[in-house]
Amino acid sequence: MCAALLGLAYVLVFTPLGFPELEGGKHWWLFGGDSDTARDLVSTILSGTITMTSLVVSITMVVLSLASGQLGPRLIDNFLRDREIQAVLGLFTGTVFYCLFVLRSSNAERGANSVPHVAITTATVLAMLCLLALLFYVHKIARSIVADTVVAEVADSLETAILRESRHTPSSQPDPARARYVHAVPLSLGASGYVQVIEYDQLVELAHRENILIDVKVRPGNFVLRGSLAAVVQCNSRVSDKAEEKIQGAFTIGQERTPTQDLEYSVRQLVEIAVRALSPGVNDPFTAIAVINRLASALELAANNAVSVTHHADDEGNLRVVAVASSLSDLFDTALNQIRQAASRTPAVLIQLAQVCIQLASVLPDAHSCSSLQRHVQKISRAGRRYIEDPADRADFSSAIERAQRILSSRKSCHGEEAAGAGEPAPRRV
């Protein structure tokens, strides 16, 4: 935005736009003063814009400090990635650059006819836009530190990630054919950090070209050491150094987890909000309940969509990449374990967990997902019976748990004890 406004300033200052009749009042909206007046006006706009920019930066730092302390430091990235916030900051800094360029180009030595009237008018318009943007920014910032707003934004990004992972539906079962390969070559990445992205399409194309099978041992979100086993290459002849480098290049390693392919990342963000809300220093069960409700929605979406594609085949149907993916059981564990542990002495949250289990039990699609939920129903039941002391609260809790167990038992009987999705999942066609 700074570069665009600098380019606009150059065009408006050095390009004649044909407004000769300024004194006649025909173009009343256009600046008609001399060079000294123009410099004074632009100088005033510049100083005011710099002051507003300093105010915006100060507000941002305060909000980031509050959000980091109450909601968790890992949520700051969500704030910084917000396009509306970036646009406001870009408008302020771009206006400063624009005014600096116009100010140095407006001087009396160039003559009265060389005053960039359109450029001065545009600076005034930018100043008014900055004032409106400041009001919008204050409103945006005020809403951004509301816990419910943050929970909704993180939950929306989680559901978007789930839909993105399930966009390619497996279609057929490949021939594993591991016996075709006589050598197994272990491969490390040579770098330590979090696995952020794995380019499975790139690995499939390379495996097809080299006639190999790549058995990936890590998944996005795992922390790896420099010499940790990351993949095993099944082959019939020695893999070239160039091929090994390309395999390593398909893994993006960074110093922090990202939500790109790591579904558990956004789940952990929501869990962190709930756990902090249940801490003795905050004691905000309402935020925890909001998190539980949005987690239930995400778990339902994950259960009804294929999010754990682990076998990738080429166009000919040959298995080329075997990957490790987060299972539905892993998502249930990540979503519910820590909240249950933190809420062990908060009856309202335990009762809400039981109520959510009732809703999930009614919508889960198969026996496998019902089994994953049933483990957590039993854990929640033990926690409630141990820590809920009030008889009325215990009655409400027990009623919800018993109802969830009845629904799960009937659903498992309907689907059969074996999960519908048991066995190796089909490949994603590349």
Confidence of residue 290 (pLDDT cuts 50, 70, 90): very high
The pLDDT of residue 225 is: 93
- Domain assignment present for 130: yes
265 phi-psi bin (left φ>0, alpha ψ -120 to 50, beta other): alpha
Structural domain includes residue 261:
no
Identify the DSSP state of 81. Answer: T
Strands of 77-224, DSSP E: 183-187, 193-198, 213-216, 223-224
* Domains identified in the chain, total number: 1
Question: Which structure tokens are listed for 418?
Answer: 């074996």
Q: Which two tokens stand for residue 291?
A: 């998190």
Question: Whats the size of the chain, residue-wise?
Answer: 430
Kindly report, residue by residue over 108-124, the tens digit of the pLDDT. Answer: 555 545 667 788 889 99
Kindly state the tokens that stand for 126: 């930018």
90 by Cβ neighbours in 10 Å (0-12 / 13-18 / 19+) ranks as middle
Residue 162 has pLDDT above 70, yes or no: yes
User: Residue 61: inside a domain, yes or no?
Assistant: yes
Range(s) of the domain holding residue 79: 2-145
Please check whether residue 269 is in contact with residue 150, taking contact to mean a CB–CB distance below 8 angstroms.
no
* Global pTM exceeds 0.85: no
Residue 326: inside a domain, yes or no?
A: no
User: Looking at the domain assignment, is residue 77 inside a domain?
Assistant: yes
Residue 378 belongs to a domain: no
Residues paired with residue 223 on neighbouring β-strands, in sequence order: 194
Lowest mean pLDDT among 108-112, 203-207, 375-379: 108-112
* Mean local confidence (pLDDT), 285-290: 91
What are the backbone angles phi and psi of residue 59, rounded to the nearest 5°? -60, -40
Residue 102 structure tokens: 């116009």
Give the pLDDT confidence score for residue 256 in this predicted structure. 87
pLDDT tens digits along 32-49: 666 778 888 889 999 999
Measured CA to CA, the distance from residue 345 to residue 86 in angstroms comes to: 41
**Residue 423 pLDDT class (50, 70, 90 cuts):** very low
Q: DSSP code of 346?
A: -
Q: What is the pLDDT of residues 233-274, one digit of tens each?
A: 988 888 888 888 999 999 999 998 888 888 888 899 899 989
User: Nearest to residue 298, comparing CAs of 265, 256, 325?
Assistant: 265
Mean pLDDT value of segment 76-98: 88
CA angle 194, 200, 203 (to 5 degrees): 105
What is the separation of C-alpha 100 from the centre of its chain, rounded to a whole number of angstroms? Answer: 37
Q: Confirm whether 122 is domain-assigned.
A: yes
Angle formed by the axes of helices 2-14 and 117-144, nearest 10°: 160
pLDDT above 50 (res 171): no
Between 139 and 179, the higher pLDDT residue: 139
Of the listed ranges 5-9, 53-57, 110-114, 343-347, the least confidently predicted one is 110-114
What is the per-residue pLDDT across 322-373, written as a single tens digit (0 to 9) for each? 888 878 888 899 999 999 999 888 889 999 999 999 998 888 877 778 888 8
pLDDT of residue 420: 40
| Mean pLDDT of all residues in 223-228 | 92
Per the structure block, which two tokens stand in for 81?
A: 């990635």
Does 218 reside within a domain?
no
Determine the Cα–Cα distance for residues 53 and 46; give it in Å rounded to an integer. Answer: 10
Minimum mean pLDDT among 147-161, 213-227, 415-429: which range? 415-429
